[in-house]
Amino acid sequence: MTRGTTAGWRYTLAGVTLLSAACASDPSRRVSVEPAPTPGMVVFVLEDRTLFYGLTVMTCRGRVMWTLSNDSPDEPPVRITYGVAPNGFVSRTGPKPLTPGCYQVIVSGPSKMRFHIGGDGRLTANAS
């Protein structure tokens, strides 16, 4: 490769990277987390249900706690309670009990949100 060709590839790569970043959606806006009436329970709110085919809840260290996937073409509800598979969806892994600690929900689309469950069962959420 000549020096001019190498520089051309660098500019092309930089342009593709910038274009990809500009076209990427803000993942923190597609899913949010809210506490359910019972401590330790979590409800995921899907703000955009297009291209939704499942979600995974995992610890912040990567241990999968629950994986939900579609089993039919049904559109998911706006709210999904942890561990409860809506009509047309099935649990592929878990659900395992959520104990105090750091968790992350990853939704197809893609989108993700980090949340914490305290020793008292209270939920706190923040964008990851």
- pLDDT tens-place string over residues 36-93: 777 778 999 988 777 788 899 999 999 999 999 988 877 888 999 999 999 999 999 9
How far does Cα 65 stand from its chain's mean position? 13
pLDDT at 35 over 50: yes
Q: How far apart are CA 104 and CA 116, in angstroms?
A: 8
Query: What does the pLDDT read at residue 26?
Result: 43
Tens of pLDDT, residues 7-33: 443 333 333 222 233 333 344 457 888
pTM for this predicted structure: 0.69
pLDDT of 49 reads: 78
Is 26-126 assigned to CATH 2.60.40.10?
Answer: yes
Q: Is the pLDDT of residue 6 over 50?
A: no
Q: Does the pLDDT at position 98 exceed 70?
A: yes
Look-up of token digits 């039919």: 72
- The residues, any chain, with a CB within 8 Å of residue 80's CB and separated by 6 or more, are 43, 44, 46, 55, 68, 86
